[in-house]
Amino acid sequence: MLDKSRAILLRRFPLTETSLIVHWFSDQFGILKTVAKGARRPKSPFAGKLDLYFDCEIEFVRARSGNLHILKELALLNPRLAMRSSWLQTAAAAYFVRLLEQVTELEAPAPELADLLRRALDYLTDNTPDRRAILHFEREVARHLGVLEQKKHLEGRRGPIDRIADVAGRIPAMRGELLDRLA
pLDDT at 154 over 60: no
Same domain, 128 and 168: yes
Same domain, 9 and 27: yes
Same-domain pairing of 89 and 68: no
State whether 176 and 128 are in the same domain: yes
Co-location of 162 and 103 in the same domain:
yes
Domain boundary among 34, 52, 78: 78
Element (DSSP H or E) covering residue 119: helix 111-126
Q: Averaged over 145-160, what is the pLDDT?
A: 68
| Contact by Cβ (8 Å): 12, 22 | yes
Q: Say if residue 157 is in the same domain as residue 89.
A: yes
Structural domain count of the chain: 2
Domain of residue 56, residue span: 2-78
pTM of the model: 0.91
For 86-134, what is each residue's pLDDT tens digit? 999 999 999 999 999 999 999 999 999 999 999 999 999 999 999 999 9
Treating both helix axes as pointing N-terminal to C-terminal, what angle do 174-182 and 131-145 enclose, rounded to 10 degrees?
A: 140
Residue 151 pLDDT > 60: no
- For residue 84, pLDDT over 90 is answered with no
Return the pLDDT at 155: 47
